[in-house]
Amino acid sequence: MSAGKVYFVGAGPGAPDLLTIRAADVLRQADIVFHDALVHPDTVALASKAERVAVGKRCGRHSTAQRFINKRLIDAARKVRTVVRLKGGDPMLFGRAQEEIAALQAADIEYEVVPGVTAALAASAELGISLTQRGRARSVVFLTPRVGEGEKPNEWARTAASADTVVIYMGAGQAGMIANALLAQGMPAATPVVVVENATLPDSRRLKLSLHDLPCVAALGMTGPALIMLGEVYREGVIQHADDVPAARRA
Amino acid sequence: MSAGKVYFVGAGPGAPDLLTIRAADVLRQADIVFHDALVHPDTVALASKAERVAVGKRCGRHSTAQRFINKRLIDAARKVRTVVRLKGGDPMLFGRAQEEIAALQAADIEYEVVPGVTAALAASAELGISLTQRGRARSVVFLTPRVGEGEKPNEWARTAASADTVVIYMGAGQAGMIANALLAQGMPAATPVVVVENATLPDSRRLKLSLHDLPCVAALGMTGPALIMLGEVYREGVIQHADDVPAARRA
């Protein structure tokens, strides 16, 4: 029987002031925080009285590490009152919160989820371009192109091709494969694409190109989290950072 | 020539503490705030030194009202320093920010967008159910079933049928039409559905049912903003509020 509670907290897209007020309050009360490696240090530092543990896993791989995180959450909730699992973006989108929640439920430990601003919305804010627009885009799909065991390899591309606006998370390292799969689904080579790396952070980069040129993104050496955004809403009006122009010309 | 700047600020899903820290800071500095009718009064009240103007439009209808809002934003930016356009949820998803941004650009007025937590993420947090789950759902589409001039009536349903998880915004009043369109696309009648009204607010209601029974939602008289969420991720584990059980049984 445990008196502790685990809070899954969305850290937002990067900039520390894009955290919610509720998330900041929970962090201030935390006794221990398990945070993703990519969460901004100033956000983690809000948990001033907490033990802070970086759980290095990135992009959801390494199931052994995942089982270890599950166990640590349970152990912590049996010892202290407020345990925080701090995740980049929003906990309910492209994280593995469900596995952690299931482990807590099995151990009869209370939990609560505090939502966050997801990267696609923050990138859209920076671009000044709505994901949906009257008469132009009334659906937006968020997806990741990873293929799991037993899944059809191009199912994600079929989904992408049927939506008006597409945001691909965790895909910049596979830009060539993504472009090929989308072209094979009949998406036009001239489809406008915007790639945004490190949205909301000082070293944010954005690049406007076409689906045809998307494979060039691999050559840019993006190391931060990046989104690939596609659709007619990106056809005009994207203001590039000055330092992106040479890269765009190369593409 | 104007010295004023317009901030498009996402008010988040409903609960005032799900506002971002940046949004709260901007509101405190605001000279005038134009807010959607549905934004929580405590959120609007953060703009303590501002003139506060409710712009009653709901769900993006009434283009005359829209033109009037565009004009008021421009007029305000020519008079004061900090103008806030406060929108429910996130400004870049299912709002008409793009039309307002275009009007400001045409008038050479500076703007900035502050993202927010969108209702789908807040509802997922309350349900404790991730929109994406390893091996079960790797895409989620957000859409609205409204059909504009010149658009194919069931295009949105085709998009919905091809994604793993579907979140329909502004659709509860058309639940019967939505169910028929999705069934016609081959979505199984047993597809699990969760309807969430007023996510994150004290009077939040949630209802679990199947696509077959979705038309019953119309009988519940939902007057607050509601989401219809569909997909295999909702097959189990949704904890209902006690007062929803009779409604679920009726369905």
- Using H for helix, E for strand and C for coil, what is the string for chain A? CCCCEEEEEECECCCHHHCEHHHHHHHHHCCEEEEECCCCHHHHHCCCCCEEEEECCCCCCCHHHHHHHHHHHHHHHCCCCEEEEEECECCCCCCCHHHHHHHHHHCCCEEEEECCCCHHHHHHHHHCCCCCECCCECEEEEECCCCCCCCCCCHHHHHHHHCCEEEEECCHHHHHHHHHHHHHCCCCCCCEEEEEECCCCCCCEEEEEEHHHHHHHHHHCCCCCEEEEEEHHHCCCCCCCHHHHHHHHHC
CA distance B177 to B175: 6
pLDDT digits (tens, 9 = 90+) for B28-45: 999 999 999 889 999 999
Partners of A18 on chain B (C-beta within 8 Å) are 20-22, 115
Mean of all residue pLDDT scores within chain A: 89
* Best to test chain B binding among A9, A101, A114, A141 (most B CBs inside 10 Å): A141
Please judge whether A126 and B113 are an interchain contact, meaning their C-beta atoms are less than 8 angstroms apart: yes
Are the Cβ atoms of A140 and B93 closer than 8 angstroms?
yes
Specify the length of chain B in residues: 251
Q: Is residue B25 annotated as part of the catalytic site, yes or no?
A: no
Task: Copy the structure tokens of residue A50.
Answer: 């907490």
Q: Are B109 and B5 in contact (CB under 8 A)?
A: yes
pTM: 0.91
Q: In the prediction, which pLDDT does B10 show?
A: 98
Count of beta carbons in the 10 Å neighbourhood of residue B13: 30
Burial of A112 (0-12, 13-18, 19+ CB in 10 A): middle
Say whether A115 and B101 touch across the interface (CB within 8 A).
no
| pLDDT of amino acid A18 | 98
User: What stretch of H or E contains B142?
Assistant: strand B139-143
From the candidates B5, B17, B31, B36, give the one annotated as an active-site residue. B36
Binary contact (A22, B18; C-beta < 8 A): yes
At B12 the three-state DSSP class reads strand
Task: Decide if A155 contacts B162 (C-beta within 8 A).
Answer: no
Interface probe, candidates B96, B141, B143, B156, chain A, greatest A C-beta count within 10 A: B141
- pLDDT tens across the length of chain B (251 residues): 557 999 999 999 999 999 999 999 999 999 999 999 889 999 999 999 999 999 965 554 555 588 899 999 999 999 999 999 999 999 999 988 999 999 999 999 999 999 999 999 999 999 999 999 988 899 999 999 876 666 676 889 999 999 999 999 999 989 999 999 999 999 999 999 999 999 999 999 999 999 999 999 888 888 888 999 999 999 975 443 333 333 333 33
**CA-to-CA separations, B247 to A211, B223, B244, in angstroms, rounded:** 48, 16, 5
Q: Is the pLDDT of residue A242 over 60?
A: no
The percentage of chain A sitting over the pLDDT mark of 70, rounded to a whole number, equals 87
Query: How many Cβ atoms from other residues are within 10 Å of residue B131's Cβ?
Result: 28
Q: What is the pLDDT of residues A142-185, one digit of tens each?
A: 999 876 666 677 889 999 999 999 999 999 989 999 999 999 99
Contact B163 A158 (CB under 8 A): no
Catalytic-residue membership of A75 = no
Q: Which of B113, B121, B141 sits opposite A92 (nearest CB)?
A: B121
Give the per-residue pLDDT at B223: 81
A195-223 as b/e, with b when 16 or more CB fall inside 10 Å? bbbbbbbeebbbbbbbbebbbbbeebebe
- ipTM score assigned to the predicted complex: 0.91
Rounded (5°) CA angle A96-B18-B206: 70
CA distance A128 to chain B (A): 7
Q: What is the CA radius of gyration of chain B?
A: 19
Domains of chain A, each with CATH number or no CATH: 5-114 (3.40.1010.10), 119-250 (3.30.950.10)
Q: What is the pLDDT of residue B210?
A: 96
What is d(CA A173, CA A228) in angstroms, rounded to the nearest whole number?
Answer: 11
Catalytic site residue from A31, A57, A75, A244: A57
Contact between residue A31 and residue A78 where contact means Cβ atoms under 8 Å apart: no
Across the interface, do B121 and A138 touch by the CB < 8 Å criterion? no
**A203-224 pLDDT, tens per residue?**
999 999 999 999 998 888 788 8
- Condensed to tens digits (0 to 9), the pLDDT of residues A56-103 reads 655 545 555 888 999 999 999 999 999 999 999 999 999 889 999 999
Minimal C-alpha gap between B204 and chain A (Å): 16
CB contact under 8 A, B93 and A18: no
Which one of B5, B57, B164, B213 is the catalytic residue? B57
A interface test, pick of B92, B129, B159, B162 with most A CB neighbours within 10 Å: B92
Collapsing DSSP to helix, strand or coil, B227 comes out as: strand
Q: Do residues B170 and B191 make contact, with C-beta atoms less than 8 angstroms apart? A: no
pLDDT reported for residue B151: 65
Chain A residues within 8 A of B158 when measuring between CB atoms:
162
